[in-house]
A and B are shown apart, each in its own frame.
Chain A
Amino acid sequence: MHNFTLAELINGLRSNKFSSVELTQHFLNRIKELNGDYNAIITTTASQALESAISADQRLANGNAPEMCGIPILHKDIFCTNGVRTSCGSKMLDNFIPPYNATVVENFENDGAVMLGKTNMDEFAMGSSNETSFYGPVHNPWALDCVPGGSSGGSAAAISARLAPGATATDTGGSIRQPAALCGISGLKPTYGRVSRWGMIAFASSLDQAGPMARTAEDCAILLNAMASFDEKDSTSVNEPIPNYRSKLDNPINGLKIGIPREYFSEGLHSGTEQAVRNSLVELQNLGAKLIDIKLPSSHLSVPAYYVIAPAEASANLSRFDGVKYGYRCKEPKDLEDLYRRSRSEGFGEEVQRRIMIGTYCLSAGYYDAYYGKAQQVRKLIQQDFSDAFKSVDLIMGPTCPSPAFKFGAKGNDPVAMYLEDIYTIATNLAGLPGMSIPCGQVDGKPVGLQIIGNYFNEERILNVAHQFQQSTDWHNHMPSELA
């Protein structure tokens, strides 16, 4: 059953090939058996899942159930789940049980989807390798000594290892697309504001966006249908019509104009990765697309701008973790200052503390204009680059990340080496654009991701092209050899 796509499982449930309870039990068994190898899941909610599955079967029997009804999924542990520990990968929230659901979780629950558990992640979503999780690193199913990418490494590895047919994830600078690429699955970061941020623990509020991960583009479309909503509780949620993301998947793509930014094929790009991406562009050409060289001249500024804006916002967003109202508190604080400082230093890991300090620095008196002010202006330049490009092309494509999965500890002491992992993904977050990564090849047995960037609210087009690509290629069906 675990080799079926989500779309196939939906059909299976409706044609009574299996029940939601059977399906749920199957994936729970699989998680029990295999999660130890990957550490992709922090919390498994077995009994709750089976209860949901029973209700889902009932609902399916009654007819007219939503597509996601009875489908088991995983949520990244950044989404608050009512009554279920939500850790955000941090010791700080190791004991935190929210009494409310994130809107994304609520949307799936309303549709009758079954939550299997919560996936591992870089602490507070700060990382590109899943090495910063308090719960230990996630292992890439394609090579257990390699990272799965981050921060949604748990969700990506779980999909790749067939521990669930779909999962939620979040993307602040590439945290859906980069792990999707490294784990050989499909992942979509929608337009900023398309999916509600309510109940999603904030890293950098103006960049954070939730999206789906699954094996195929079609499955991502199904998940996005359930996830996307206009939410009064999130002031940045956008009240735009939500199409059925499945409806245009089968449209032909001949005449499609694909922009190829020369800046995305620069030094630092692994030659194998480049080759895989170029091959897939040829494949798209064969399907009738036209490739057009474009320029995104401010690209080189996206990583520096990101590493001002994201830490600045994070430094404020993480101030609420102070040991007073919830979360970790140090033992026997000698006074209030001691409580604050030790609770935060003991509760947060090294990377989180580093980013808080960078953000604090960039906002502090005398530095604001040179850093935060400047970064916001650069952000505008980057937006401008894209809006200029979209005057002449429909989509923009390139590699998702510079190289395939790397070994644990490979980017050890220099944080900047890790930050450059997101060099191709960050710009879309700064611009608020939708972007997707789909499997497009392999290097040394490790998957490579093709990144597809669309204009605002053009997820439908991205999914259509990704689906068409997957109809004529089979990279998305490749499995880690261990599982085959």
Chain B
Amino acid sequence: MAIKPAEIKKLASLSRLVVDDKTITDVTDRLSSVLALVDQLQSAQTESIDVSRPFHIAQRLREDEITESNKIDELQATAPEIYNGFFAVPKMID
């Protein structure tokens, strides 16, 4: 399926990535080439195929017991920006 530069912009926006005007043609070409590859799927006969994993039957359940303790210092050690224990980001709008 051929993909258009406008769709690339939309994908970049959904993925929170930058695609600038200089590279958009390249990106579009390469993505189109990958999509041409995956479009081979459309030839497969897959009616009435139930999708499931081969031997993973059921989710295991964990007992409701506290196993974690406060490790804020270790966990925030490489955080980009912290104020008073909060992860800081440019002000959000609602």
Are any A and B Cβ atoms less than 8 Å apart in their complex? yes
Q: Quick one: which of A327, A333, A353, A370 contacts B42, CB cutoff 8 A?
A: A370
A238 to B52, CA, bound (A): 16
Q: Would you call A342 and B75 a contact (CB within 8 A)?
A: no
CB-based nearest A residue for B52: A380
Q: Would you call A378 and B41 a contact (CB within 8 A)?
A: yes
A382 to B8, CA, bound (A): 31
Q: Mark contacts of B8-42 with chain A using CB atoms, 8 A cut-off: 1 yes-contact digit, 0 otherwise.
A: 10011011111000000001001101111111111
Q: A357-B15, A362-B38 are in contact. Are A236 and B56 (CB under 8 A)?
A: yes
A423 to chain B, nearest CB (A): 11
A206 to B78, CA, bound (A): 29
Q: Would you call B56 and A357 a contact (CB within 8 A)?
A: no
A305 to B89, CA, bound (A): 38
Q: Would you call A305 and B87 a contact (CB within 8 A)?
A: no
Q: Would you call A377 and B49 a contact (CB within 8 A)?
A: yes
Interface segment among A61-69, A125-133, A295-303: the answer is A295-303
Q: Quick one: which of A324, A358, A376 contacts B51, CB cutoff 8 A?
A: A376
A-chain residues with CB within 8 Å of residue B51 when the two chains form the complex: 376-377, 379-380
A323 to B37, CA, bound (A): 33
Cβ of B55 under 8 Å from chain A: yes
B-chain residues with CB within 8 Å of residue A358 when the two chains form the complex: 31, 34-35, 38
Contact residues of A: prevailing secondary structure: helix
B-chain residues with CB within 8 Å of residue A370 when the two chains form the complex: 41-42
Cβ of A356 under 8 Å from chain B: yes
A114 to B80, CA, bound (A): 32
Interface segment among A151-159, A182-190, A273-281, A411-419: the answer is A411-419
A456 to B40, CA, bound (A): 28
A383 to B56, CA, bound (A): 14
Q: Would you call A415 and B38 a contact (CB within 8 A)?
A: no
Q: Would you call A377 and B44 a contact (CB within 8 A)?
A: yes
B55 to chain A, nearest CB (A): 6
Q: A97-B78, A376-B51 are in contact. Are A356 and B38 (CB under 8 A)?
A: no
A-chain residues with CB within 8 Å of residue B17 when the two chains form the complex: 341, 344-345, 348, 353, 356-357
Q: Would you call B92 and A304 a contact (CB within 8 A)?
A: no
A375 to B51, CA, bound (A): 10
Q: Would you call A356 and B44 a contact (CB within 8 A)?
A: no
What are 7 A-B residue pairs whose CB atoms fall within 8 Å in the complex?
A307-B38, A323-B80, A325-B87, A336-B92, A345-B18, A356-B17, A357-B15
Chain A residues packing against B (C-beta within 8 Å): 95-97, 99, 193, 206, 232, 235-236, 238, 298, 300-301, 303-305, 307-308, 315, 322-329, 333-342, 344-345, 348, 353-354, 356-358, 360-362, 364, 370-371, 374-381, 383, 387, 413-416, 419, 431-432, 456
